[in-house]
Amino acid sequence: MSTRPVGTVTRGTTNPNRLRRMDRWIAAVHGPALRRSDRPLAVDLGYGAAPWTTLELLRRLRAADPRCSVTGIEIDPERVAAAKPYEEEGLSFRRGGFEIPVEGRPVLIRAANVLRQYDEGEVADAWARLCGRLAPGGLLVEGTCDEIGRRHVWVALGRRGPRTVTFATRLGSLDRPSDLAERLPKALIHRNVPGEPVHAFLRDFDRAWAAAAPYASLGARQRWIRAVRDLRADWPLTDDGRRWRQGEVTVAWSAVAPRTGTA
């Protein structure tokens, strides 16, 4: 394994509880795979200038499986040194990048707000490298959120590539679903233009949201659920009301994948 980290240093922006929506989804959807694993190791890639989100990931995964361990990986050696005092049983920090320098194969790699700074043409290679490090049945979750975690979009990938895209938001802050476009992952952020599937998805979501306006009197959650139910008539959604109530919706990657390009 190479001793030179693969990748570049991120901006390092981090806030406590920023990745709660992603973590909640991982624990709920990927929890069974964690419990089936003989060694449920998770990796938090590019955790940033402070280790708060890595500590939170450990707590949330252990709610799904108490055996889980987490390794935080950063390219910047100063960030690793600053995180070392927070190590505990099942939690460690080390220097590295896309090569994922851990023993064995992780059942989960979380890469939040990492690829946003890369060129779109670099995404496919990064995905392939990370997915190649996964254990059988493992999951890569890669996406982007705002600074305090109100809006978040991520792609879930297995060893054979992307599977789904999840849109998650604090419903009280939402004007319309296409507000989430600014948080699309790098593979999709430049594809939100007419003629591309992700643009059509957000357009149809806005239309369903507008049609569900009468439900607003019952609250933003009920309006969201009604809009998602209508959206399901034309789009291959992979989740159900249990996730919709959380301000989430997940669609098959094949339905929104770029029509051209390398991602």
* Closest listed residue to residue 243, CA positions, set 257, 256, 232: 232
- 60 φ, ψ (degrees, to nearest 5): -75, -35
Residue 47 sits in the same domain as residue 151: yes
Q: End of a domain among 144, 170, 196?
A: 170
> Is residue 242 domain-resident?
no
Please state the rounded mean pLDDT for residues 54-76: 96
Could you tell me if 163 and 217 lie in one domain?
no
Share the mean pLDDT of the chain: 94
Do residues 197 and 256 lie in contact, with contact meaning Cβ atoms separated by under 8 Å? yes
Note the pLDDT of residue 3.
Answer: 67
**158 and 228 co-located in one domain:** no
- Asked if residue 42 and residue 54 are part of one domain, the reply reads yes
Report d(CA 39, CA 93) in Å as an integer.
Answer: 18
Instruction: Name the nearest CA neighbour of 8 among 153, 88, 120, 126.
Output: 126
- Is there a domain that residue 163 lies in? yes
Are 94 and 156 within one domain? yes
Q: Quick check: is 246 in a domain?
A: no
Query: Do 163 and 227 share a domain, yes or no?
Result: no
Classify each residue of 228-258 as buried b or exposed e, where b means 16 or more C-beta atoms within 10 Å of its C-beta: bebbbeebebbbeeebbebbbbbbebebbbb
Q: Are strands 248-252 and 139-145 parallel, antiparallel or unpaired?
A: unpaired
pTM of the predicted structure, to 2 decimals: 0.94
- As a whole number of angstroms, the distance between CA 168 and CA 22 comes to 8
pLDDT tens sequence across 187-241: 999 999 999 999 999 999 999 999 999 999 999 999 999 999 999 999 999 999 9
In whole angstroms, what is the distance from residue 129 CA to residue 100 CA?
Answer: 9
- The letter for the amino acid at 238 is T
Do 113 and 195 lie in one domain? The reply is: no
Residue 143 and residue 123 share a domain: yes
Render pLDDT for 144-192 as a digit per residue (tens, 0 to 9).
Answer: 999 999 999 999 999 999 999 999 999 998 999 999 999 999 999 999 9
* Claim to verify: residue 153 and residue 190 sit in the same structural domain: no
Residue 245 makes CB contacts below 8 A (sequence gap 6+) with 221, 225
The two structure tokens encoding residue 183: 């948080």
Residue 247 falls within a domain, yes or no? Answer: no
pLDDT for the residue numbered 192: 97
The torsion angles phi and psi of 123, rounded to 5 degrees, stand at -65, -45
What is the rounded average pLDDT of the residues 127-143?
97
| The two three-digit tokens of residue 228, written as one number | 């998602």
Same domain, 99 and 31: yes
Based on the structure, what is the number of domains in the chain? 2
Look at 7-16, 27-36, 47-56 and tell me which has the smallest mean pLDDT. Answer: 7-16
The verdict on residue 258 lying in a domain is no
- Mind listing the pLDDT tens digit for each residue in 110-133? 999 999 889 999 999 999 999 999
CATH code of residue 83: 3.40.50.150
User: What is the domain range of residue 90?
Assistant: 20-170
Q: Are strands 69-74 and 41-45 parallel, antiparallel or unpaired?
A: parallel
Pick from 148, 170, 192: which residue ends a domain? 170
- The reply to whether 35 falls in a domain is yes
Q: Is residue 250 part of a domain?
A: no
Q: pLDDT tens digits for 32-64? A: 999 999 999 999 999 999 999 999 999 999 999
The pLDDT of residue 1: 43
Instruction: Please check whether residue 50 lies inside any domain of the structure.
Output: yes
* Structural domain ending residue among the three candidates 155, 170, 185: 170
Same-domain pairing of 64 and 136? yes
The closest of 22, 60, 61 to 40, measured between CA atoms, is 61
Tell me the CA distances in angstroms from 9 to 24, 108, 149, 226, one per residue in order: 26, 21, 21, 42
Look at residue 5 in the predicted model and tell me its pLDDT. Answer: 82
Q: Are residues 209 and 111 in the same domain?
A: no
